Amino acid sequence: MDDKIRSALTHKISVKKITFTVMDILLFLVLTGFALIMRYALRNVVAGDYKMFFEPWVATLREAGGGIKGLSAEFEYVDYTTPYLTILSFISICPFLNTLLLMKLVSIFFDFVAAFAVMAIVYDRTKNMTYGILGYGALLMVPTVLTNGAMWAQCDIIFTSFVLWSLYFMLKDKPAWSMAFYGIAFAFKLQTLFLAPLYVILWMKGKVKLKHFLFLPLMYVIGMIPSLLAGKSFWELISVYFFQANGQMDIYALSHKFPNIYQLIGTDSFLFEYADAGIWVTLGALMILMYCFARKQYEMNACLLLRMGMLLTMTVVFFLPHMHERYAILVDVMAIVYVFFDFRKLYIPVLTILCSFAGYTVYLAQNNIIPMYVYTILFLLLMLDHARACVKGMQDGKIAVGE
Amino acid sequence: MDKKITDFLVKEIKIGKWMLAPIDLLLFVAAAVFSVMIRISVVDYTAIELPAFVKYGNMLSFVTGITDLLLAVLGSLIVYDLTERKIRAFLTYAILLMLPVLCASCAMWGMGDSIYIFFAVLSLYLLMKGKGNASLVSYGISLFLSRYAFFLLPVYAIAFMQKKNKLMYFIFPFCGVWFRNGIVHQSGYLPVPSFEMERLFVKLRGESLLSQNWPNIFQMIGTDKFIQEYSLVAKVAAASLMLLVIMLVLLRSWEMRGEGIWYVGLVLSILIPYVMPQMDERAGLLSCVLYLLFAMKHPDLYYLAIVQVIITYISFSAYFRGESVIPLSAVALAELFVLLLTIRRADHVFKVQQEEAR
């Protein structure tokens, strides 16, 4: 009997070219169940952002008629683009459940979209479905992913999931698909651009073509269509990101609970001077990294691509002023993928997510048990470690004398 | 089409005696533009309402913009000489131009430190090139401009013992100190912000703290007790350490040339302010620049260079804000680790040098 159960559990099933066991299916179901239970436990939490922003926005959309019609609403302040506002507008007229739960459900759905992307990347790398499912489960258990949507009702996972699919297609050497997904991510959130330097490097290395970059404006414009149909002006819709880039809502602190450089030198002094200088320093730091990565001759492999992506994103959030707690979510999810490429680097996702989650704790629980500068130092050390790993990766893949 | 563009960007072409790629030139121009933008962002800030700052602060910010550029070019030349690698030379240029501590000291604070650093670095470069006497002239100018150039004095003493310069040329550093003291301590007046700042410190001497926000030993043992006593003790200790460095290099027969010069200069620029009293926030600037140059030769030490820059900026920030976010005692501990890890490299640096010489 026991042997029968054992053999049933390890029985291999093949669907197309993918082979997995019954145990894999069980693992998948259990992890999915656990992920859903965790999210269910957080369903009733109402964060400040919901009361201050989301609830009034949804009310405004509802007053304007909801659905596509609701997008004609005039907001006092809104910094979301049409795609997410469209989701909110449909939520506003949804007869089932309340707004908060519906918003959380949307984010939870994309938690799973992102988890499937991780599963696909990991499976593609290892050709082992168990690893793929473990990657899927790991992403769903990441505290920042879990709390972002299910607790806070934020939607950062939407653009993150599209970025993950973009990385998947890039690793599969399908640049057009990759850039299309990257374009969709861009249509949802400006923070997608944190990873843009990586795509420039990939272009320099011949992995992407210049024409593929057209997907960014194209997807953005496609995303605007519902609002255009509702009667909004083209300029108003296109200027959402300019408004965000100016950081007009965030000028009261140089870092919004994110452990970056400003936590070491003070987040409340020289608000205007450092805000401008910080942007130029960030661009300068990115330029130096991009020069370094583009100038040297080496073979770009999947592991190096991920390392570079993480380092570039970390550089942006470390130096750019007005960063929020949630802005390192791209790093968090890439770190989960990365550990399946190099298991010795298990400390990277653990510490990265710890640093990131510290900001969440300060916001959600108003807890500041360990001073934020400690997390900043940790984050800095991780960046230095990544930089070293990138240089080593380039040396390992050297194809000619680069200097 | 894409391949043509990317190939064009990295294809090296001969410009003068250099083989450069368009991407190098792109970095060269972009770094200059970004560094100007960083400076413009902070130039309106007036740190101190002293007459020299108010009157000449902006002018000095402009002048130091030029010396910052010269320093970046000089730094890249030095790195190229040390490593013979173009990419590292260009990276040095870009990093030096956008180095936050230099931007803050010159464009924000109006102290103009990049001028003295330029001459100090030039003097070490001349020494490396075998022009020991000219090096002392440049060192004299640097000493005239800032007391912090004093940290490097043992380098020239060692160079003298190793027959790299002549005693007579020490008149230049001597004159540099003499003129500066005349202006700062005596009746002379020159409306230069850094001089005016120093003059203020001289007036306060005896009342000023043992460390003015610089994370050194006094941040760990207390900056406000035994001021008179510890001041003298610490100065003698610093002089002893300088002597120790000189004797160590001479006794171990370390031939000081090439990167060895930069290494000794670097160790001194961290070690001396660590024990000297009345060091202020700018005491670590020279070490930041020297560390960057040294790290380009020893890339595995790059993290220490970054830590040194951050430590210095934390110290700056303590001045600008009136308090430090991180306790300066903890930062002083970090600085001690930087110092010890740097000293640990001594044997390696000189052994490699000796092997290369053989």
3-state secondary structure chain A: CHHHHHHHHCCEEEECCEEEEHHHHHHHHHHHHHHHHHHHHCCCCCCHHHHHHHHHHHHHHHHCCCHHHHCCCCCCCCCCCHHHHHHHHHHHCCCCCCHHHHHHHHHHHHHHHHHHHHHHHHHHHHCCHHHHHHHHHHHHHCHHHHHHHHHCCCCHHHHHHHHHHHHHHHHCCCHHHHHHHHHHHHHHCHHHHHHHHHHHHHHHCCCCCHHHHHHHHHHHHHHHHHHHHCCCCHHHHHCHHHHHHHCCCCCCCCEEECCCCHHHHCCCCCHHHHHHHHHHHHHHHHHHHHHHHHHCCECCCHHHHHHHHHHHHHHHHHHCCCEEHHHHHHHHHHHHHHHCCCHHHCHHHHHHHHHHHHHHHHHHHCCCCCCHHHHHHHHHHHHHHHHHHHHHHHHHCECCCCC
pLDDT attached to residue A401: 40
- Residue range A137-145: mean pLDDT, rounded: 96
Chain B CB within 8 Å of residue A270 CB: yes
- Here the tokens at position A387 are 């930089």
Q: How many angstroms away from the CA of A327 is the closest CA of chain B?
A: 23
CA–CA min distance B128, chain A (Å)? 23
User: Is the Cβ pair B310, A380 closer than 8 Å?
Assistant: yes
Check B38 against A284: CB less than 8 A apart. Answer: yes
- Does the distance separating the beta carbons of B41 and A277 come in below 8 Å? yes
Confidence of residue A233 (pLDDT cuts 50, 70, 90): confident
CA distance B148 to A43: 60
Helix H or strand E encompassing B318 = helix B302-321
Residue B193 pLDDT: 64
Examine the pLDDT at B229 and tell me if it is beyond 70.
Answer: yes
Contacts of B38 in chain A (CB under 8 A): 277, 280-281, 284
Q: Is it the case that residue A245 has pLDDT exceeding 50?
A: yes
- Which tokens is B326 given? 């991180």
pLDDT for res B52: 67
Q: What is the mean pLDDT of residues A137-148?
A: 96
Helix (H) / strand (E) containing A15: strand A12-15
Beta carbons of A280 and B21 less than 8 Å apart: no
Q: Give the pLDDT of residue B318.
A: 92
Count how many pairs of residues, chain A against chain B, have C-beta atoms within 8 Å: 112
Nearest CA to A82 out of A5, A212, A184, A195 is that of A184
CB contact (8 A) between residue B314 and residue A264: yes
Whether B28 has its CB under 8 Å from any CB of chain A: the answer is no
Which of residues A219 and B190 earns the better pLDDT score?
A: A219
Dihedral (Cα; B83, B87, B93, B94), 10-degree rounding: -150
Contact by Cβ (8 Å): A379, A262: no
Determine contact, residues B308/B287, Cβ cutoff 8 Å: yes
pLDDT of residue B108: 86
Antiparallel, parallel or unpaired: β B13-15 and B18-20 = antiparallel
Structure tokens at A158: 């939407």
> Is A295 in contact with B3 (Cβ distance < 8 A)?
no
How far, rounded to the nearest angstrom, does the alpha carbon of residue B351 sit from its chain's CA centroid?
25
pLDDT tens profile B46-92 = 777 666 666 666 777 777 888 999 999 999 999 999 998 999 999 99
**Residue B323 half-sphere exposure toward CB, CA atoms < 13 A:** 4
Q: Report d(CA A226, CA A217) in Å as an integer.
A: 16
Does the structure show a pLDDT above 80 at A49?
yes
pLDDT digits (tens, 9 = 90+) for A153-188: 999 999 999 999 999 999 999 999 999 999 999 999
What is the residue whose two structure tokens read 């902070």? B42
Rounded Cα distance between B87 and A235, Å, is 43
- Residue-level pLDDT at B209: 84
Nearest chain B residue to A385 by CA: give it: B303
Please provide residue A168's backbone torsions phi and psi, each rounded to the nearest 5 degrees: -60, -50
Q: What is the pLDDT of residues B123-182, one digit of tens each?
A: 999 999 999 999 999 999 999 988 899 999 999 999 999 999 999 999 999 999 888 887
Distance in angstroms (rounded) separating the CA atoms of residues A351 and A374: 12
Q: At CA B242, angle to CA B295 and CA B309, rounded to 5?
A: 30
Return mean pLDDT, chain A. 91
Q: Which residues of A fall within a CB distance of 8 Å from B88?
A: 403
Beta-carbon count within 10 A of B199 CB: 18
Region for A122 from its dihedrals, namely left if φ exceeds 0, alpha if ψ lies in -120 to 50, beta otherwise: alpha
pLDDT tens digits for range A322-336? 999 999 999 999 999
Say how far apart CA A374 and CA A358 lie, in whole Å.
10
Q: Is B349 helix (H, G, I), strand (E, B) or coil?
A: helix
Whether residue B292 contacts residue B96, with contact meaning beta carbons closer than 8 Å, is answered with: yes
